[in-house]
Amino acid sequence: MSSDQQEPVKTICPYCGVGCGIKVQPGEEPGDVRFMPWGEAPVNEGRICIKGGAATEVVDHEDRLIEPRIKENGEFREASWEEAYEYVVDELERIREAYGPDAMGFFGSSKVMNEENYLLQKLARRYGTNNVDNCTRMCHASTVWALRTSLGAGAMTNSMRDLREEADVFWIQGANPGEQHPIANSQYFRQAVLEGATVIQVDPHANKTTRSFQIGDTERHQHLQLNPGTDIPLLNIVLKTILEHHEENPEDGWIDEEFVAERTEGFDHLKATLEDFDKQAAAEECGVSLEDIELAAKKYAEADNAAIFTGMGMSQHACGVDNVQNEINLALITGNLGRPGTGVNPLRGQNNVQGTCDVGAMPNVLPGYQLVDDDEARESVEDVWGFEIPDEPGLTNVEISYEAGDSIKGLYVMGENPVMSEPDANAVAERLADLEFTVVQDIFHTETADYADVILPATTWAERGGTVTNTDRRVQRMRGVGKVHENTRHDREILTEIGTRLFDAGFDFDDPEEIFEELRQVCPSYHGMTYDLLGEEGLHWPCYEPGDEGDPFLYEDEFETESGLGHIEGVEHTPPAETPDDEYPLILTTARLEEHYNTGTMSTRSPTLNKQTPENFVDVHPADAERYGIEDGEYVRLHSRRGEITLEARVTDDTKEGVVWTTPHFAAASANKLTNHVLDERAKIPEYKAAAAEIDVEVEPLGETADPTAED
C-alpha cells in the first residue's frame, strides 16, 4: 500500500465519546497508517486533542495480535483460524449441553462498532442467554438507570452545540471534560465560558477542567472540593437552599412553579425528604463551606439556562442512581429541562459506549432499549430474528465475572479487559482462572488474555468500516483503509463466522451496511437511518423514519415516562460502603489522565501518549505527606483490604486532605487491585470512587505485586 494508491478516508477517533472526525491514510511503509485532520468534521471541525492526533500510532504496533492463539499446557501456541473457530464452536456447544446457555457470559465492546455489538448480542441471545453486557456497566449504568426511569432515555438530554450556544451555567459534577472530553471542553464549553457563562465544578480533585476555566473574569467560577461520596448531601444543600429561598421570595422564580405543576411528579416527596435536613451538618460532612454551596445554588437557580454535566464521580458509587436522581431533581424543580442549554448531560465515555448500549449489548434490553421482559417488544424483535429470545434479564458483566467458576463456566470477551478494569481485580483474576473456557478477541494481548483458552486477533478501528454513536447521540460512519495484517479478522467477520457455524441462519452478512439494515428493523430510534442518509454529518437519534432530522435536545413537550411527567424523588445520603477507620484512614478515589486511556492497552503503547506519564502515581495532600513523612516523588505502598500497589507519591494540594487519588491506566500498579467490589443495587455499577486505604512509606523495591493466582 502507498499513499499514491489510496486516498485518505474519513473516520472517527477511536478514543472518547466526543466523536471527533479524523482522516486516515496508508503511509509510505507497508502497514503504516497516517493521521490527517478532517477540517469539516461535524463535531470538531478539524480540531483534535492529543489522543486523536496519536490514534494511528498503535495501529501497526509491534505488539499487535496477528494470529489466533490456543492455550496448551498453560502456554499459548499459534493456531489456524479453522482450528480456532472449531475450538470455539465446539466449546460453546459443549457448555450449552452440559450446563445450559446461562452458563456463558458475553462481553460486548464500546471500542467496537454498532454492527459488531449488534451481532454479539444477537449471538448471545440466539445461543439462549441474556448474559451480555458492556463497559457501560462500570461507567454510566447508574446514570442511564436514573435518566431512563425519571426522564425517558438513558442519554444526554442536550447536545454539545445547543449547550455551547445557550447555557449560562455549566454545573460540572464528578466529570473532568478538560481531560476526558477535551474537544467538548475546549470547543464547546470553554467557548461559552469565554462569552460569559459560569462554571461550578464539584470534584474532590483539581484538574485541567479547573484550570481551563481560569479565563476572563474568573471570580464567577467556583470549585466545590468535596469529600468523595458526599454528593447527595451537597446537592441536598443546594435543593434546600432553593426551596427556602423560594418560600420567602417566590417572585424570584428560583423554582419554576408552572414547570413543576405541569411537567413533573414527586415534588412533595422531595420537600418531605428535605424537611429535617440539617444543612450545616451536611456541609461539614462534605468538607465544603455552607456559604460556598449556597452561593453555587443561587447561581444555578438564577441562570436563564443552566446545564448539568455528570460523570464518573457521580455514577461510580453504590449510591450512583441516587446521585444522578438528585441532579435530575435539581434540573426539574428549576425547569432546566426540555430547552436548549439545559438538561442533565452524561458525557459518554468510550467512542462507542452509547451505540453499544443502543444496539442492545446489555442484559436487560434489546436494541433500542426495548426491555427483554416486555412481551410485546420482545416478540417484535423475535419476528425479525426468527428465534425465541429468553425473557428474563441476564447477568451484568461484573456479576458474570463474580459468578465465574460457579454458575458461569465460559466467557466470550470482545474488546474488554476485565482483569484490569473491574473492581477488586485480584479476585476477578482468581475467578477467571476457574472458568472452563474463555475467548478473548482483542487487538493486543491484554491482562485478561492471560486467562484465555483462545485468543482471536481483531483488526483495529482504522482498518474497517461501520458506525459509532457519540455522546450526543450522533450516529456517524467509520471508514477503514483495509487490513494491515492479513491474518487478522474484523470483529464482524469473526462473529458472522462463529454465528454461521453455530446456527443455521441469521449470521450471514457480507458487509457492515447489511448488518445496519437489519439493526434498523429492530431498533426504532435508528429506523430512519441508512448509510446514505448518515452521509458525512451523521444523524442524532431518535430518528424514527427516513428524513427525520433527529433531536439535538430531548423532551421539549413531554418526558418519555409512562405518565409523560418528569419524576422527582428526594434521596437521602448513603455514605460509601467503606469509610476511613483506624486501619485504613484514607479515602481512595480513582480517575483518569488526559494522556492515558482506560486500562492503557492502547495509550501505554502510543509513544506520544506514554511519554508524559509512563507509570502510575498517587496524589497525596501536603498535610498527609507531612504526617506520613512522604517526600514528593518517593515510592510508597498503597493498600486496601483487597490488595496493594507500589507507586510514586506526588505531593499536591490538587487533592483534599485525607483523600488519595490515583489512576486505573497502568498494569504494573493497577488501581483496581485496591477498589471495592460493592455495587449499586439497581444499576450494578461498582464503587470505584471511594474505598478505604492506607499508605506505607517503607517499600520493597519496585516490581509487580504477587500474582494472586500463583500456587502457594
Ligand X SMILES: Nc1nc2c(c(=O)[nH]1)N[C@H]1C(S)=C(S)[C@@H](COP(=O)(O)OP(=O)(O)OC[C@H]3O[C@@H](n4cnc5c(=O)[nH]c(N)nc54)[C@H](O)[C@@H]3O)O[C@H]1N2
The residue from 460, 469, 476, 525 that contacts ligand X (CB under 6 A) is 460
Stretch of 437-445, 476-484, 546-554, 558-566 contacting ligand X, by CB under 6 A: 437-445
DSSP assignment of 522-573: H-GGGTT--HHHHTTT-EESP--STT----SS--SS--SSSSSSEE------
According to the binding rule CB under 6 A, does residue 689 interact with ligand X? yes
> What are the residues facing 567 on neighbouring strands?
265
Q: Pairing mode, if any, of strands 169-173 and 198-202?
A: parallel
Q: Please check whether residue 561 is in contact with residue 151, taking contact to mean a CB–CB distance below 8 angstroms.
A: yes
Residue placing its CB nearer to ligand SF4 in the complex, 27 or 182 = 182
Grid cell for residue 181: 472530553
Residue with Cβ nearer ligand X (212 or 350): 350
Say if residue 542 is preceded by a cis peptide, omega within 30 of 0. yes
671 binds ligand X (CB under 6 A): yes
Residue bearing cell 449499586: 680
Whose Cβ is closer to ligand X: residue 264's or residue 604's? 604
Tell me the site size for ligand SF4, rule CB under 6 A: 14
Residue from 60, 497, 578, 594 in contact with ligand X (CB under 6 A): 594
Grid-cell match 454479539, residue found: 120
* Cβ-proximal residue to ligand SF4, closest one: 52
Residue with smaller CB distance to ligand SF4, 20 or 306? 20
* 462 forms part of the interface with ligand SF4 (CB under 6 A): no
Which of 255, 443, 625, 636 lies at the binding interface for ligand X (CB under 6 A)?
A: 443
Residues in region 284-343 near ligand X by CB under 6 A = 311-314, 316
| 290 in Cβ contact with 280 (< 8 Å) | yes
Residue with Cβ nearer ligand SF4 (49 or 435): 49
Query: Is 177 a binder of ligand SF4 (CB under 6 A)?
Result: no
* Shortest spacing between CB 279 and ligand X, in angstroms: 18
HSE at residue 343, side-chain half, CA atoms within 13 A, is 30
| 132 vs 255, beta carbon nearer ligand X | 132
Residue 23 to residues 149, 605, 651: CA-CA distances in angstroms? Answer: 39, 21, 41
In sequence order, which residues have a C-beta less than 8 Å from that of residue 561 and are 6 or more positions away? 149, 150, 151, 152, 567
**Rounded to the nearest whole angstrom, what is the least distance from the CB of residue 139 to Mo ion in the complex?**
3
Q: Which stretch binds ligand X (CB under 6 A): 61-69, 74-82, 225-233, 551-559?
A: 225-233
Q: Cα separation of 321 and 684, whole Å?
A: 10
The residue type found at 443 is I
CB atoms within 10 A of CB 316: 29
Binding of ligand X by 444 (CB under 6 A):
yes
Residue pair 114/359 in contact by the 8 Å Cβ criterion: yes
295 phi and psi, to 5 degrees?
A: -65, -40
Specify the stretch interacting with ligand SF4 by CB under 6 A; choose among 48-56, 108-116, 313-321, 485-493. Answer: 48-56
Task: Kindly state the cell numbers that stand for 76.
Answer: 499459548
x/- mask, ligand X, residues 11-40, rule CB under 6 A, reads -----x------------------------
Q: In a 3-state reduction of DSSP, which class is residue 144?
A: helix
> Which DSSP string corresponds to 346-387?
E---BTTHHHHHHTT-SSSEEGGGEETT-HHHHHHHHHHH-S
Calculate helix-pair angle for 231-248, 320-333, nearest 10 degrees.
20
Residue 469 and residue 465: Cα distance in Å, rounded?
13
- Minimum CB distance to ligand SF4 smaller for 347 or for 404: 347
Listed in sequence order, the residues at least 6 apart from 385 whose beta carbon sits closer than 8 Å to its beta carbon are: 122, 125, 126, 506, 522
51 binds ligand SF4 (CB under 6 A): yes
* 601 near ligand X, rule: CB under 6 A: yes
How many angstroms separate the most distant Cα atoms in the chain? 77
Q: Does residue 52 touch ligand SF4 according to CB under 6 A? A: yes
696 contacts 632 by C-beta, under 8 angstroms: no
- Of 288 and 381, the one with the shorter C-beta distance to ligand X is 288
Look at residue 166 and give the partner it binds from ligand SF4, Mo ion, ligand X, none, a contact being a CB closer than 5 to 8 Å depending on partner kind: none
Does 597 engage in binding with ligand X (CB under 6 A)? yes
Least distance in Å: CB of 550 to Mo ion? 24
For ligand SF4, the closer CB: 477 or 527: 477
Q: Is 174 in the site for ligand X (CB under 6 A)?
A: yes
List of residues contacting Mo ion (CB under 5 A): 139, 349
- The site string for ligand SF4 over 340-379 (x = CB under 6 A, - otherwise) reads ----------------------------------------
**What is the grid cell recorded at 176?**
473532568
Choose, by CB under 6 A, the member of 1, 9, 20, 366 that binds ligand SF4. Answer: 20
Q: Could you say whether residue 672 binds ligand X (CB under 6 A)?
A: yes
> Whole-number minimum distance, CB 620 to Mo ion, in Å?
26
Give whole-number Cα distances, 68 to 163, 417, 501, in Å: 46, 18, 18
* 74 and 62 Cβ atoms separated by less than 8 Å: no
Using CB under 6 A as the binding rule, whether residue 596 contacts ligand SF4 is answered as: no
Q: Is 182 in the site for ligand SF4 (CB under 6 A)?
A: yes
DSSP at 475: E
Strand partners, 586: 693
In the list 1, 9, 41, 49, the residue contacting ligand SF4 (rule: CB under 6 A) is: 49
Q: Is 451 in the site for ligand SF4 (CB under 6 A)?
A: no
Q: How far apart, in whole angstroms, are the C-alpha atoms of residue 668 and residue 263?
A: 51
Q: Which is nearer to ligand X, 316 or 336 (CB)?
A: 316
Cα–Cα distance for residue pair 712/635, rounded to 1 Å: 28
With respect to ligand X, which residue has the nearer C-beta, 107 or 259? 107
15 touching ligand SF4, by CB under 6 A = yes
- Radius of gyration for the chain, computed over Cα atoms and rounded to the nearest angstrom: 25
| 12 DSSP β-pair partners | 21
Q: Which three cell numbers stand for residue 618?
A: 498517587
13 binds, among Mo ion, ligand SF4, ligand X, none (CB under 5 to 8 A by kind): ligand SF4
591 contact choice in ligand X, Mo ion, ligand SF4, none (CB below 5 to 8 Å, kind-dependent): ligand X
Region of 658 (left: φ > 0; alpha: ψ -120 to 50; beta: rest) is left
672 binds, among ligand SF4, ligand X, Mo ion, none (CB under 5 to 8 A by kind): ligand X
State yes or no: residue 455 binds ligand SF4 (CB under 6 A). Answer: no
Task: Please tell me whether residue 18 binds ligand SF4 under the rule CB under 6 A.
Answer: yes
Strand, coil or helix: 250: helix
Choose the one of ligand X, ligand SF4, Mo ion, none that binds residue 18, judging by a C-beta under 5 to 8 angstroms depending on kind.
Answer: ligand SF4
Binding-site partner at residue 326 among ligand SF4, Mo ion, ligand X, none, CB < 5 to 8 Å by type: none
CA distance 210 to 318: 26
* 123 forms part of the interface with ligand SF4 (CB under 6 A): no
Select from 694, 706, 589, 585 the least CA-distant residue to 639.
694
Q: Does 366 bind ligand X (CB under 6 A)?
A: no
Interaction site with ligand SF4 (CB under 6 A): 13, 15-16, 18-20, 44, 48-49, 51-52, 181-183
Interaction site with ligand X (CB under 6 A): 16, 51, 109, 111-112, 135, 138-139, 173-176, 179-180, 202-205, 207, 228-229, 231, 311-314, 316, 349-350, 414-418, 421, 441-444, 446, 458, 460-461, 491, 589-592, 594, 596-599, 601-602, 664, 671-672, 675, 688-690
